[in-house]
Amino acid sequence: MVSETDNLLVSLKDVRFAYGEREILRGVNLKVPRGKVVAIMGGSGCGKTTLLRLIGGQLRATAGTVEVAGRNVSSLDTAELYEMRRRMGMLFQFGALFTDMSVFDNVAFPLREHTDLPFGLIRDMVLMKLNAVGLRGAADLMPAELSGGMARRVALARAIALDPMLIMYDEPFAGLDPISLGVIGQLIRKLNDALGATTIMVTHDIMESLQIVDYIYFVSEGGIVAEGTPDELRASKDPWVYQFIHAEPDGPVPFHYPAEALDECLIGGRAA
């Protein structure tokens, strides 16, 4: 799949990134073809969200190139970056809805900011987006009145308000009940196909992801340690993949944070 290099929307080549002295990514290579749903997986703190922020231009790579639609994100100035972001949608982990605006106003926000459309047209577009996520009836509610799953769906409607070419999801399934989780998963797939968009999803939820994505990258220790289609990964004997799919507590992703040997740090051990 990823060999279709002429049809790539997002491409990361030898990307390195560090927060101060702490290097998070050490030479990541990743390709996302147009029209596909791609998941980025890995343990907590491995740099998945950092990858999304690099693609969205919120962070700049310390080395390597991040290309979106053929343009190097790191070299864009603010105006160019904003121009590119108008064609991107992002769903944050807990929705990040504007709490002082109603559901309707949240979804209308990007339309009002970036277009001069008349009120009637904006209203119709917002109701259509809300209808797509099943929340047309909740247009007048405030974010505080929504459940976690509903807030995530409203944020999804807002993310697709401008019909983006690329939709990014940061942990879209975190903290959801099984029903909401299934609903969000199906929406991600259906909206991607209906809009002809491309989706990058950062998630921990392997079971849901295997059902809806076209390709998966596993991130660990600053790089891509495994990748493949859902069928390839189900059949994989790779220890990284095995540990993740079978939720093993210990393996290539260690259970213990690096520390000196236990008997060396216990007082009893020293006394002996």
Partner 1 sequence: MNGLLNFIRRLGAMAVEGVWRIGFAARFFMLLLRHSGQSLTRIHLTVREIYFSGVLSLLIIVVSGLFVGMVLGLQGYETLQRYGSGDALGVLVSLSLTRELGPVVAGLLFASRAGLAVTAEIGLMKTTEQLDAMDMMAVNPIARVVAPRFWGGVISMPLLAALFSAMGVFGGWLIGVVFIGVDDGAFWSQMQAAVDFRFDIMNGVIKSFVFGATVALIAVFEGYDCTPTAEGLSRAITRTVVTSALAILALDFVLTSLMFRGQS
Q: Could you list the residues that contact partner 1 (CB under 8 A)?
A: 56, 58, 81-83, 85-86, 88, 90, 92-94, 96-99, 109-110, 113-114, 155, 158
Smallest separation, CB 247 to partner 1 (Å): 28
Q: Which is nearer to partner 1, 12 or 59 (CB)?
A: 59
> CA-based angle 260:218:165, to the nearest 5?
140
Residue 188 CA: distances (Å) to CA of 15, 117, 153, 271: 27, 27, 10, 58
Smallest separation, CB 85 to partner 1 (Å): 4
Smallest separation, CB 114 to partner 1 (Å): 7
| Nearest C-alpha neighbor of 130 from the set 201, 84, 187 | 187
Q: Which is nearer to partner 1, 33 or 57 (CB)?
A: 57
Smallest separation, CB 87 to partner 1 (Å): 9
| Whole-number Å distance between alpha carbons of 78 and 56 | 12
Would strands 71-72 and 88-91 be described as parallel, antiparallel, or unpaired?
unpaired
Q: Which is nearer to partner 1, 175 or 251 (CB)?
A: 175
| Whole-number Å distance between alpha carbons of 160 and 88 | 8
Considering only the C-alpha atoms of the chain, give the largest distance between any 2 of them, rounded to a whole number of Å: 81
HSE (side-chain half, CA atoms, 13 Å) at 115:
15
| Nearest C-alpha neighbor of 199 from the set 230, 236, 159 | 159
Q: Which is nearer to partner 1, 171 or 227 (CB)?
A: 171
Does residue 219 contact residue 50 with C-beta atoms inside 8 Å?
Answer: no
| Whole-number Å distance between alpha carbons of 190 and 186 | 6
Smallest separation, CB 19 to partner 1 (Å): 14
Does residue 218 contact residue 244 with C-beta atoms inside 8 Å?
Answer: yes
Smallest separation, CB 5 to partner 1 (Å): 27
Q: Which is nearer to partner 1, 143 or 185 (CB)?
A: 143
Q: Which is nearer to partner 1, 15 or 97 (CB)?
A: 97
Q: Which is nearer to partner 1, 44 or 99 (CB)?
A: 99
| Whole-number Å distance between alpha carbons of 139 and 130 | 8
Smallest separation, CB 195 to partner 1 (Å): 17
Cross-strand partners of 67: 11, 72
